[in-house]
Chain A
Amino acid sequence: MIINHPLLGPRDAAEFVYLGDASLMQRPNPKSETAAEDFHNYQYLRNNPAGEHKELWYHEQGDRSWLVVTRNTLSHEITHVELARDVARSS
């Protein structure tokens, strides 16, 4: 797989480390009354879709940026790549 890094251009996916579903960027509110359940769901439950999946990749052997990659889990086709910090700022 080739990940089209927004700053560095096309890079081999082997340069990256995979973390998982991009929803991991949205940590629950620890002060919420349902925090225990929210953190359980955040930490352990996944949508795990067959099809389009937004996911976090870390460019460990490159510029060490976190990316949000939109990839199809049925075909491995990558359709969109963003810097995770841009996604975090805009959400």
Chain B
Amino acid sequence: MRYSALKVLKEGLTGHKGWKPAWRKPDPKAAYDIIIVGGGGHGLAAAYYLAKKFDQKRIAVLEKGWIGGGNVGRNTTIVRSNYMLHENEGFYEFALKLWEKQEQDLNYNTMVSQRGILNLAHTDPQRHAFARRGNSMILNGADAVLLDTAGVRKICPFLNFDDARFPIRGGLWQKRGGTVRHDAVAWGYARAADMRGVDIIENCEVTGFDIKDGVCSGVQTSRGPIKAKKIGVSVAGSSSRVMAMAGMRLPIETHVLQAFVSEGLKPTIPGVVTYGAGHFYVSQSDKGGLVFGGDLDGYNSYAQRGNLPVVEDVCEGGVSLIPMIGKARLLRMWGGLMDMSMDGSPIIDKTHIDGLYFNGGWCYGGFKATPASGFAFAQLLATDVSHDTAKAYRMDRFSKGLMIDEKGQGGQPNLH
């Protein structure tokens, strides 16, 4: 069923009785050509592009829980392509271009809102670094504007410009960045993939891989064994647990990152504002809640919740930057699991096991990458050739010295 304004009008006049579920609930078949493990945004996007762009048939997505119940529903919905390193920037700009045409492509209202993202600078060296990063972005086809204090004031007049420790001296502005409704991304990809024949199988946990003589030929699941010619694992947050079943150790630690939503306020924050020096970033949802977060808690965790010291740190950062939000009350807070890789960059690659492919290590940047990650993983699964923008996301880059370390922190995951 195609969605359209006319359809909404018609259903509105006839009691909304004609809507159908957005995707089927098929039972797993005995065999598929390609299985994607993990029905998050990335896995669903990969299945969609496999069917749509790479003409693959007999595809299944296996999801342990339900669609939209994992990290795709636990992030802070920001999209942007403001990286500096060439290996990252081309990829994230590819993602942003896919975001820009996603709603038409999926025939689904994912509420893509290019309201802009502003990174604040507090010192001359930081402005120089932003100038360099902005130039790198422009060289990769993205947009970037270096702002002085007056430029920042024009966009966000309410910031604390004259803070003694971190006075605002300018910023890097990417107008095409913004936010996207995260659940809608999962639902939109699920629906669009399902329409092209992909079996989306929920409540189906993978419990093992059938590996013999270095070839993976299927998976064991809570709903029985399933054979496949190719299996792509896309379960960021739990990558180490799943790949351990294939006997692999990964360059990844799982950490918790907390996020927060305030009570609904009138429109006040125009785009996304990031205050790296104060461990705080914020945007405002269409419902009015301030959506904000800060740094990792910093220790390995699969608990999907963090602890109070970071809550305090994030809220202090927020109030010091935007004093007017001091009286806003916190409505919700939660934690998500991050695949923190050793250089802060993701992996989209084959493994040493034939037929087994891996997508993970997204750190806290997975959501914005969703369409490009799905596309690149689909291309790798269909053709065994990496996508041009994802060639650097190799599994073996740590042994080859080809790290993509945006922050220059070294192999210490909680610092990325």
Contacts and interface: CB of A to CB of B under 8 A. Distances in A.
Interface of A: 1, 12-14, 18-21, 37, 40-41, 43-50, 53, 55, 71, 73-76
B300 A45 contact: no
21 contacts: A13-B299, A20-B414, A40-B398, A40-B399, A43-B398, A43-B411, A44-B251, A44-B398, A45-B251, A46-B249, A46-B251, A46-B252, A47-B244, A47-B249, A48-B252, A50-B238, A50-B254, A53-B300, A73-B302, A75-B303, A76-B303
A65 B200 CA distance: 51
B301 A73 contact: yes
Interface residue SS majority, chain B = mixed
Contacts, number: 68
A14 B240 CA distance: 27
B302 A45 contact: no
B253 interface: yes
A51 to B, nearest CB: 8
Contact of B309 (A14, A43, A45, A53): A14
B371 interface: no
Contact of B300 (A13, A37, A48): A48
Size band of the B side of the interface? Answer: 20 to 34
Contacts of A47: 240, 244, 249
Nearest to A57: B299
A18 B302 contact: no
A20 B412 CA distance: 8
Given A48-B254, A73-B303, A20 B249 contact: no
A26 B309 CA distance: 31
Contacts of B252: 46, 48
